[in-house]
Protein backbone atom coordinates (compact mmCIF):
# COMPACT_ATOMS: atom_id res chain seq x y z
CA UNK A 1 0.00 0.00 0.00
CA UNK A 2 1.35 3.38 -1.05
CA UNK A 3 -0.17 5.60 1.63
CA UNK A 4 1.17 8.84 0.18
CA UNK A 5 -0.38 8.14 -3.21
CA UNK A 6 -3.72 7.07 -1.72
CA UNK A 7 -3.88 10.26 0.36
CA UNK A 8 -2.90 12.43 -2.61
CA UNK A 9 -5.63 10.98 -4.84
CA UNK A 10 -8.27 11.13 -2.09
CA UNK A 11 -7.51 14.81 -1.45
CA UNK A 12 -7.65 15.58 -5.17
CA UNK A 13 -11.07 13.94 -5.39
CA UNK A 14 -12.57 16.30 -2.80
CA UNK A 15 -10.78 19.55 -3.64
CA UNK A 16 -12.86 22.70 -3.05
CA UNK A 17 -14.90 23.90 -6.01
CA UNK A 18 -15.14 20.47 -7.59
CA UNK A 19 -17.01 17.20 -7.16
CA UNK A 20 -17.44 13.73 -8.60
CA UNK A 21 -19.67 12.77 -11.52
CA UNK A 22 -21.31 9.38 -10.93
CA UNK A 23 -21.57 8.02 -14.49
CA UNK A 24 -21.58 4.40 -13.35
CA UNK A 25 -25.19 3.50 -14.16
CA UNK A 26 -25.56 -0.19 -14.93
CA UNK A 27 -26.91 -1.20 -18.32
CA UNK A 28 -30.34 -1.70 -16.74
CA UNK A 29 -30.36 1.67 -15.01
CA UNK A 30 -29.25 3.65 -18.05
CA UNK A 31 -31.96 1.90 -20.08
CA UNK A 32 -34.54 3.37 -17.68
CA UNK A 33 -32.99 6.82 -18.11
CA UNK A 34 -33.04 6.48 -21.89
CA UNK A 35 -36.63 5.19 -21.77
CA UNK A 36 -37.57 8.52 -20.16
CA UNK A 37 -36.45 10.33 -23.33
CA UNK A 38 -37.74 7.55 -25.63
CA UNK A 39 -34.27 6.54 -26.79
CA UNK A 40 -33.12 2.98 -27.41
CA UNK A 41 -30.30 1.92 -25.07
CA UNK A 42 -27.69 0.73 -27.57
CA UNK A 43 -23.99 0.52 -26.76
CA UNK A 44 -23.28 3.37 -29.18
CA UNK A 45 -25.90 5.66 -27.65
CA UNK A 46 -24.51 4.88 -24.19
CA UNK A 47 -20.98 5.64 -25.40
CA UNK A 48 -22.08 8.83 -27.14
CA UNK A 49 -23.98 10.03 -24.07
CA UNK A 50 -20.97 9.55 -21.80
CA UNK A 51 -18.73 11.25 -24.37
CA UNK A 52 -21.11 14.22 -24.38
CA UNK A 53 -20.65 14.58 -20.62
CA UNK A 54 -16.88 13.99 -20.53
CA UNK A 55 -16.06 16.36 -23.39
CA UNK A 56 -18.08 19.29 -22.03
CA UNK A 57 -15.94 22.43 -22.41
CA UNK A 58 -14.39 23.44 -19.07
CA UNK A 59 -15.58 20.27 -17.32
CA UNK A 60 -12.31 19.90 -15.39
CA UNK A 61 -12.99 23.21 -13.64
CA UNK A 62 -15.86 21.68 -11.64
CA UNK A 63 -15.44 17.88 -11.89
CA UNK A 64 -12.56 16.22 -10.01
CA UNK A 65 -13.38 12.59 -10.81
CA UNK A 66 -15.76 10.37 -12.75
CA UNK A 67 -17.11 7.00 -11.60
CA UNK A 68 -17.29 4.68 -14.62
CA UNK A 69 -19.10 1.40 -15.24
CA UNK A 70 -17.38 -1.76 -16.53
CA UNK A 71 -18.64 -1.09 -20.07
CA UNK A 72 -17.70 2.60 -19.98
CA UNK A 73 -14.13 2.18 -18.75
CA UNK A 74 -13.48 0.12 -21.89
CA UNK A 75 -15.06 2.62 -24.30
CA UNK A 76 -13.41 5.40 -26.29
CA UNK A 77 -14.17 8.84 -27.66
CA UNK A 78 -15.19 9.04 -31.31
CA UNK A 79 -11.52 9.89 -32.00
CA UNK A 80 -10.40 6.60 -30.48
CA UNK A 81 -9.07 7.81 -27.11
CA UNK A 82 -10.00 5.50 -24.20
CA UNK A 83 -12.25 7.36 -21.74
CA UNK A 84 -9.87 6.90 -18.75
CA UNK A 85 -6.98 8.28 -20.79
CA UNK A 86 -9.08 11.21 -22.04
CA UNK A 87 -10.21 12.12 -18.52
CA UNK A 88 -6.71 11.79 -17.06
CA UNK A 89 -5.31 14.20 -19.67
CA UNK A 90 -7.94 16.73 -18.56
CA UNK A 91 -6.84 16.35 -14.94
CA UNK A 92 -9.98 14.38 -14.01
CA UNK A 93 -9.46 11.19 -12.00
CA UNK A 94 -11.10 8.03 -13.46
CA UNK A 95 -12.84 5.66 -11.06
CA UNK A 96 -14.86 2.45 -11.33
CA UNK A 97 -17.96 0.91 -9.73
CA UNK A 98 -16.98 -2.58 -8.54
CA UNK A 99 -19.95 -3.97 -6.63
CA UNK A 100 -22.42 -6.23 -8.44
CA UNK A 101 -25.54 -4.86 -6.80
CA UNK A 102 -27.72 -5.25 -3.73
CA UNK A 103 -29.37 -8.68 -3.42
CA UNK A 104 -31.90 -9.99 -0.87
CA UNK A 105 -30.28 -10.81 2.47
CA UNK A 106 -31.18 -14.42 3.23
CA UNK A 107 -33.25 -14.74 6.40
CA UNK A 108 -33.92 -11.01 6.63
CA UNK A 109 -37.02 -10.07 4.59
CA UNK A 110 -36.93 -6.57 3.11
CA UNK A 111 -33.18 -6.16 3.60
CA UNK A 112 -30.29 -6.47 1.18
CA UNK A 113 -26.58 -7.27 1.08
CA UNK A 114 -24.32 -5.91 -1.64
CA UNK A 115 -22.41 -8.59 -3.56
CA UNK A 116 -19.21 -8.50 -5.59
CA UNK A 117 -16.36 -9.49 -3.26
CA UNK A 118 -15.64 -12.73 -5.15
CA UNK A 119 -12.86 -12.08 -7.62
CA UNK A 120 -12.61 -8.42 -6.61
CA UNK A 121 -8.84 -8.52 -6.03
CA UNK A 122 -8.27 -9.63 -9.62
CA UNK A 123 -10.78 -7.15 -11.04
CA UNK A 124 -9.10 -4.29 -9.19
CA UNK A 125 -5.77 -5.24 -10.80
CA UNK A 126 -7.42 -5.08 -14.24
CA UNK A 127 -9.28 -1.83 -13.55
CA UNK A 128 -6.08 -0.23 -12.28
CA UNK A 129 -4.37 -1.26 -15.51
CA UNK A 130 -7.25 0.33 -17.45
CA UNK A 131 -6.66 3.61 -15.63
CA UNK A 132 -8.96 3.59 -12.58
CA UNK A 133 -7.45 5.33 -9.54
CA UNK A 134 -10.45 4.97 -7.25
CA UNK A 135 -13.41 2.62 -6.88
CA UNK A 136 -16.95 2.69 -5.49
CA UNK A 137 -19.07 0.17 -3.57
CA UNK A 138 -22.65 0.95 -2.54
CA UNK A 139 -24.43 -0.61 0.42
CA UNK A 140 -28.20 -0.10 0.63
CA UNK A 141 -30.06 0.30 3.93
CA UNK A 142 -33.84 0.70 3.83
CA UNK A 143 -36.07 2.12 6.54
CA UNK A 144 -39.46 0.47 7.17
CA UNK A 145 -41.33 -1.28 9.97
CA UNK A 146 -38.82 -3.44 11.84
CA UNK A 147 -35.89 -2.60 9.59
CA UNK A 148 -33.05 -2.05 9.34
CA UNK A 149 -31.85 -4.75 11.70
CA UNK A 150 -28.46 -4.44 13.34
CA UNK A 151 -27.40 -7.63 11.55
CA UNK A 152 -28.08 -6.14 8.11
CA UNK A 153 -26.26 -2.93 9.04
CA UNK A 154 -23.23 -4.88 10.30
CA UNK A 155 -23.19 -7.29 7.35
CA UNK A 156 -23.12 -4.42 4.87
CA UNK A 157 -20.51 -2.54 6.91
CA UNK A 158 -18.30 -5.62 6.90
CA UNK A 159 -18.60 -5.97 3.10
CA UNK A 160 -17.76 -2.27 2.64
CA UNK A 161 -14.65 -2.67 4.79
CA UNK A 162 -13.51 -5.84 2.96
CA UNK A 163 -13.89 -3.98 -0.33
CA UNK A 164 -11.99 -0.97 1.01
CA UNK A 165 -9.12 -3.16 2.21
CA UNK A 166 -8.79 -4.83 -1.20
CA UNK A 167 -8.81 -1.41 -2.89
CA UNK A 168 -6.06 0.00 -0.71
CA UNK A 169 -4.01 -3.16 -1.16
CA UNK A 170 -4.01 -2.29 -4.88
CA UNK A 171 -3.36 1.46 -4.36
CA UNK A 172 -6.93 2.26 -5.41
CA UNK A 173 -8.81 4.82 -3.28
CA UNK A 174 -12.12 3.36 -2.02
CA UNK A 175 -15.28 5.43 -2.05
CA UNK A 176 -17.24 3.92 0.84
CA UNK A 177 -20.95 4.38 0.13
CA UNK A 178 -23.46 3.36 2.83
CA UNK A 179 -26.79 4.69 1.54
CA UNK A 180 -29.79 4.97 3.84
CA UNK A 181 -32.65 5.26 1.36
CA UNK A 182 -35.06 8.19 1.46
CA UNK A 183 -37.97 6.06 0.21
CA UNK A 184 -40.96 5.70 2.50
CA UNK A 185 -42.63 8.01 4.98
CA UNK A 186 -40.11 8.12 7.83
CA UNK A 187 -39.25 11.32 9.66
CA UNK A 188 -35.92 13.11 9.51
CA UNK A 189 -35.36 12.03 13.13
CA UNK A 190 -35.67 8.38 12.11
CA UNK A 191 -33.25 8.95 9.22
CA UNK A 192 -30.78 10.52 11.66
CA UNK A 193 -31.05 7.61 14.08
CA UNK A 194 -30.48 4.99 11.37
CA UNK A 195 -27.71 6.89 9.58
CA UNK A 196 -25.81 7.37 12.81
CA UNK A 197 -26.04 3.65 13.57
CA UNK A 198 -24.87 2.82 10.05
CA UNK A 199 -21.87 5.18 10.17
CA UNK A 200 -20.89 3.86 13.60
CA UNK A 201 -20.87 0.28 12.29
CA UNK A 202 -19.06 1.24 9.07
CA UNK A 203 -16.20 3.02 10.85
CA UNK A 204 -15.91 0.22 13.42
CA UNK A 205 -15.45 -2.22 10.55
CA UNK A 206 -13.05 0.08 8.68
CA UNK A 207 -10.92 0.25 11.84
CA UNK A 208 -11.03 -3.55 12.26
CA UNK A 209 -9.88 -3.96 8.64
CA UNK A 210 -7.02 -1.48 9.18
CA UNK A 211 -8.24 0.96 6.55
CA UNK A 212 -6.03 3.99 6.03
CA UNK A 213 -8.62 6.72 6.61
CA UNK A 214 -6.59 9.45 4.90
CA UNK A 215 -6.77 7.35 1.71
CA UNK A 216 -10.55 6.96 1.40
CA UNK A 217 -13.63 9.05 0.62
CA UNK A 218 -17.02 8.62 2.32
CA UNK A 219 -20.17 8.80 0.16
CA UNK A 220 -23.17 8.94 2.54
CA UNK A 221 -26.77 9.99 2.28
CA UNK A 222 -27.90 13.30 3.70
CA UNK A 223 -30.14 13.24 6.77
CA UNK A 224 -33.48 13.85 5.10
CA UNK A 225 -37.16 13.04 5.54
CA UNK A 226 -38.61 10.12 3.59
CA UNK A 227 -40.14 11.06 0.23
CA UNK A 228 -43.61 10.16 1.51
CA UNK A 229 -43.30 11.90 4.88
CA UNK A 230 -46.26 14.12 5.73
CA UNK A 231 -44.09 16.93 7.04
CA UNK A 232 -40.71 17.04 5.30
CA UNK A 233 -37.96 18.90 7.11
CA UNK A 234 -36.82 22.20 5.54
CA UNK A 235 -33.37 22.56 3.91
CA UNK A 236 -31.74 24.26 6.90
CA UNK A 237 -32.74 21.37 9.18
CA UNK A 238 -31.40 18.83 6.65
CA UNK A 239 -28.05 20.63 6.63
CA UNK A 240 -27.83 20.96 10.41
CA UNK A 241 -28.88 17.35 11.06
CA UNK A 242 -26.44 15.95 8.50
CA UNK A 243 -23.46 17.92 9.81
CA UNK A 244 -24.33 16.96 13.39
CA UNK A 245 -24.28 13.23 12.59
CA UNK A 246 -21.09 13.49 10.54
CA UNK A 247 -19.31 15.29 13.39
CA UNK A 248 -20.35 12.52 15.75
CA UNK A 249 -19.35 9.56 13.58
CA UNK A 250 -16.81 10.47 10.87
CA UNK A 251 -13.18 10.78 12.00
CA UNK A 252 -11.39 13.99 11.06
CA UNK A 253 -8.70 11.89 9.32
CA UNK A 254 -11.12 11.23 6.43
CA UNK A 255 -10.19 13.89 3.83
CA UNK A 256 -13.62 14.34 2.35
CA UNK A 257 -17.27 13.44 2.18
CA UNK A 258 -18.89 13.30 -1.27
CA UNK A 259 -22.65 13.08 -0.85
CA UNK A 260 -24.99 11.01 -2.98
CA UNK A 261 -28.16 12.76 -4.11
CA UNK A 262 -30.35 9.74 -3.36
CA UNK A 263 -33.52 10.73 -5.18
CA UNK A 264 -33.44 14.44 -4.34
CA UNK A 265 -34.16 16.88 -7.13
CA UNK A 266 -31.13 18.54 -8.71
CA UNK A 267 -31.96 21.82 -6.98
CA UNK A 268 -32.54 20.22 -3.56
CA UNK A 269 -29.23 18.36 -3.64
CA UNK A 270 -27.31 21.51 -4.56
CA UNK A 271 -29.00 23.69 -1.94
CA UNK A 272 -28.49 21.18 0.88
CA UNK A 273 -24.77 20.87 0.05
CA UNK A 274 -24.31 24.64 0.00
CA UNK A 275 -26.09 25.10 3.33
CA UNK A 276 -23.86 22.45 4.93
CA UNK A 277 -20.73 24.18 3.72
CA UNK A 278 -21.96 27.42 5.30
CA UNK A 279 -21.87 25.67 8.69
CA UNK A 280 -18.07 25.43 8.64
CA UNK A 281 -15.30 25.28 9.47
CA UNK A 282 -15.54 21.48 9.19
CA UNK A 283 -12.83 18.83 9.64
CA UNK A 284 -13.40 17.34 6.17
CA UNK A 285 -14.25 18.70 2.72
CA UNK A 286 -17.94 18.38 1.83
CA UNK A 287 -18.61 17.87 -1.86
CA UNK A 288 -20.87 15.97 -4.26
CA UNK A 289 -20.84 12.63 -6.04
CA UNK A 290 -24.10 12.96 -7.94
CA UNK A 291 -25.58 10.91 -10.75
CA UNK A 292 -29.12 11.96 -11.63
CA UNK A 293 -28.77 15.32 -9.87
CA UNK A 294 -25.98 16.23 -12.28
CA UNK A 295 -27.31 14.48 -15.37
CA UNK A 296 -31.09 14.88 -15.57
CA UNK A 297 -31.18 18.23 -17.35
CA UNK A 298 -28.27 17.22 -19.61
CA UNK A 299 -29.93 13.95 -20.59
CA UNK A 300 -33.14 15.70 -21.62
CA UNK A 301 -31.29 18.45 -23.51
CA UNK A 302 -29.07 15.92 -25.31
CA UNK A 303 -32.00 13.74 -26.38
CA UNK A 304 -29.71 11.38 -28.29
CA UNK A 305 -28.27 13.91 -30.71
CA UNK A 306 -27.82 17.45 -29.41
CA UNK A 307 -24.31 17.52 -27.90
CA UNK A 308 -24.15 21.30 -27.51
CA UNK A 309 -27.43 21.64 -25.57
CA UNK A 310 -26.62 18.61 -23.41
CA UNK A 311 -23.20 20.01 -22.56
CA UNK A 312 -24.63 23.43 -21.78
CA UNK A 313 -27.10 21.89 -19.29
CA UNK A 314 -24.41 19.69 -17.72
CA UNK A 315 -21.94 22.57 -17.41
CA UNK A 316 -24.52 24.70 -15.59
CA UNK A 317 -25.37 21.94 -13.11
CA UNK A 318 -21.71 21.17 -12.45
CA UNK A 319 -20.91 24.86 -11.98
CA UNK A 320 -23.74 25.34 -9.46
CA UNK A 321 -22.64 22.30 -7.47
CA UNK A 322 -19.07 23.55 -7.55
CA UNK A 323 -20.30 26.77 -5.93
CA UNK A 324 -22.17 24.69 -3.34
CA UNK A 325 -18.88 23.12 -2.19
CA UNK A 326 -17.86 26.57 -0.95
CA UNK A 327 -21.30 27.57 0.37
CA UNK A 328 -21.77 30.19 -2.35
CA UNK A 329 -24.77 28.68 -4.14
CA UNK A 330 -28.16 30.31 -3.76
CA UNK A 331 -31.47 29.13 -5.21
CA UNK A 332 -31.90 32.24 -7.35
CA UNK A 333 -28.87 31.14 -9.41
CA UNK A 334 -31.11 28.50 -11.01
CA UNK A 335 -32.85 31.16 -13.07
CA UNK A 336 -29.64 32.61 -14.45
CA UNK A 337 -28.34 31.49 -17.85
CA UNK A 338 -25.62 28.84 -17.95
Q: How do strand 102-104 and strand 112-114 relate by DSSP bridges?
A: antiparallel
Tell me the C-alpha distance between 182 and 178, whole Å: 13
Length of the chain: 338
Phi, psi of 218 (to 5 degrees): -95, 135
Tell me the C-alpha distance between 306 and 302, whole Å: 5
321: left (phi over 0), alpha (psi -120 to 50) or beta: alpha
**Exposure of 146 in the CB half-sphere (CA atoms within 13 A):** 4
Residue whose C-alpha is closest to residue 273's, from 10, 18, 23: 18
Give yes or no for a contact between 315 and 57, defined as CB atoms under 8 angstroms apart: yes
Tell me the C-alpha distance between 332 and 316, whole Å: 13
Q: Which residues pair with 288 in a beta bridge?
A: 259
Task: Indicate which residues carry an active-site annotation.
Answer: 177, 219
For the purposes of burial, counting CB atoms within 10 Å of the CB of 204, is it exposed (0-12), middle (13-18) or buried (19 or more)? middle
Tell me the C-alpha distance between 262 and 268, whole Å: 11
CA distances from 169 to 94, 99, 125, 209, 259 (A): 18, 17, 10, 11, 25
For the purposes of burial, counting CB atoms within 10 Å of the CB of 272, is it exposed (0-12), middle (13-18) or buried (19 or more)? buried
Amino acid sequence: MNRNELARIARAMVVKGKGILAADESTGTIKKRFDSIKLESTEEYRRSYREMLFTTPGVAETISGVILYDETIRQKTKDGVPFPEYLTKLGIIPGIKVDTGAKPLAGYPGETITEGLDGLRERLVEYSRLGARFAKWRAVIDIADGIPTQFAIDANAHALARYAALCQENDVVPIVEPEVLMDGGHSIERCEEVTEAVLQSVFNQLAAHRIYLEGMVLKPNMIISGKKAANRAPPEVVAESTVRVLKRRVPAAVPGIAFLSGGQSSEEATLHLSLMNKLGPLPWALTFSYGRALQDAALKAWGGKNFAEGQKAFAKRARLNGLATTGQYTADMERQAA
